[in-house]
């Protein structure tokens, strides 16, 4: 199918991210969500990979399903932190044999309770990206953290590591954030370091207070009180909360596109309604 840099060159690209499901209910929900979102003709869809091991297997199956059954370009995520080099090599070779054109190279986080890498494992996403580059012709994406990675020792060190990683990749996708100024500042900081790789902002529609608060805390991000208050004011009705989250996400998306973002990557959490409404409101349909 198509390399993502080529898709981005055609104009702002809409993409959706899904989590590999863990159980039969999750499988049914993802199947339903794909049926609803595929007709929007996103430029690509991506499927996460469980660094801890719980959802490693299904990533490859879902990527194949998205490509074959829905005709949409699909990108697997791959984390390196709990794998040996040989294991990573075998996975990458499988993807190359499957005809995969794009891969998101990530470090991932060690499973809770373990703090040791397998011997000879890659320590950072940049090492994984270099390994995939040497082994295949795939376009390589990496994660970007506009507000810094939670484990970084300093902002300066964080920006240097991120700049080196993003410079060596073909594109980057950001962690979610709630203010377009974070994206603008980050892309300026990268440009100041000579890095002009396309950086696609990741957009998380804030529709579920507890879910977003938990994920924000995990990523060292502040969940703005103003959004929390708007969601609370909408009461317990899920449709009313979704309307608040979608309105917020659409405004953020428009600011990002005005700032020159090469696309929008929507974290769907395997739900279709909010991503569908956002995509329709901003009118991004690159195909």
Q: Is 161 in the site for ligand FAD (CB under 6 A)?
A: yes
User: Cβ closer to ligand FAD: 87 or 158?
Assistant: 158
Question: Does the protein bind ligand FAD through residue 60 (CB under 6 A)?
Answer: no
Give me the least distance between CB of 106 and ligand FAD, in Å please: 4
Calpha distance 7→243 (Å, rounded):
30
Nearer to ligand FAD, 83 or 126 (CB): 126
CB 93 → ligand FAD: shortest distance, Å? 19
CA angle 141–176–283, rounded 5-degree value: 85
Is 247 assigned a catalytic role?
no
Comparing C-alpha atoms, which of 83, 148, 95, 176 is closest to residue 122? 83
Range in contact with ligand FAD (rule: CB under 6 A) among 27-35, 46-54, 229-237, 254-262: 46-54
Residue 36 to residues 60, 189, 266, Cα–Cα distance (Å): 21, 37, 14
User: Per the structure block, which two tokens stand in for 268?
Assistant: 């769907």
Encoding tokens for residue 63?
């990527």
- For the bound state, the minimum distance from the C-beta of residue 276 to ligand FAD, rounded and expressed in Å, comes to 20
CB-nearer residue toward ligand FAD: 40 or 152: 152
Instruction: Give me the 70-99 binding string for ligand FAD, x by CB under 6 A, dash otherwise.
Output: -------x-x--------------------
Phi and psi angles of residue 147, each rounded to the nearest 5 degrees, phi first: -100, 20
- Nearest alpha-carbon partner for 82 in 64, 109, 47: 109
Single out the residue of 75, 92, 143, 204 in contact with ligand FAD (rule: CB under 6 A).
143
Residues recognised as catalytic: 17
């Amino acid at each position: 199918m198509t390399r993502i840099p080529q898709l981005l060159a055609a104009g702002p690209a809409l993409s959706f991210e899904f989590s590999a499901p863990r159980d039969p209910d999750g499988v049914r929900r993802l199947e339903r969500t794909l049926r609803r979102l595929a007709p929007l003709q996103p430029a690509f869809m991506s499927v996460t990979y469980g660094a801890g091991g719980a959802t490693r297997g299904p990533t490859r199956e879902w990527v194949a399903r998205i490509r074959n059954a829905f005709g949409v370009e699909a990108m697997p995520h791959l984390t390196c932190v709990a794998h040996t080099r040989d294991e990573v090599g075998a996975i990458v070779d499988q993807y190359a044999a499957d005809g995969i054109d794009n891969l998101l190279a990530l470090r991932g986080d060690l499973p809770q309770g373990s703090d040791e890498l397998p011997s000879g494992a890659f320590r950072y996403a940049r090492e994984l990206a270099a390994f995939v580059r040497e082994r295949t012709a795939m376009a390589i994406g990496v994660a970007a953290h506009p507000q810094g990675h939670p484990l970084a020792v300093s902002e300066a060190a964080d920006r240097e590591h991120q700049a080196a990683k993003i410079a060596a990749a073909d594109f980057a996708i950001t962690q979610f954030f709630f203010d377009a100024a974070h994206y603008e500042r980050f892309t300026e900081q990268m440009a100041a370091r000579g890095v002009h790789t396309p950086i696609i902002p990741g957009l998380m529609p804030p529709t579920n207070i507890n879910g977003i608060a938990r994920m924000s805390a995990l990523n060292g991000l502040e969940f703005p009180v103003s959004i929390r208050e708007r969601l609370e004011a909408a009461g317990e009705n899920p449709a009313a909360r979704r309307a608040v989250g979608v309105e917020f996400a659409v405004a953020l998306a428009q600011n990002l596109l005005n700032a020159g973002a090469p696309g929008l990557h929507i974290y769907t959490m395997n739900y279709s309604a909010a991503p569908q409404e956002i995509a329709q409101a901003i009118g991004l349909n690159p195909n």
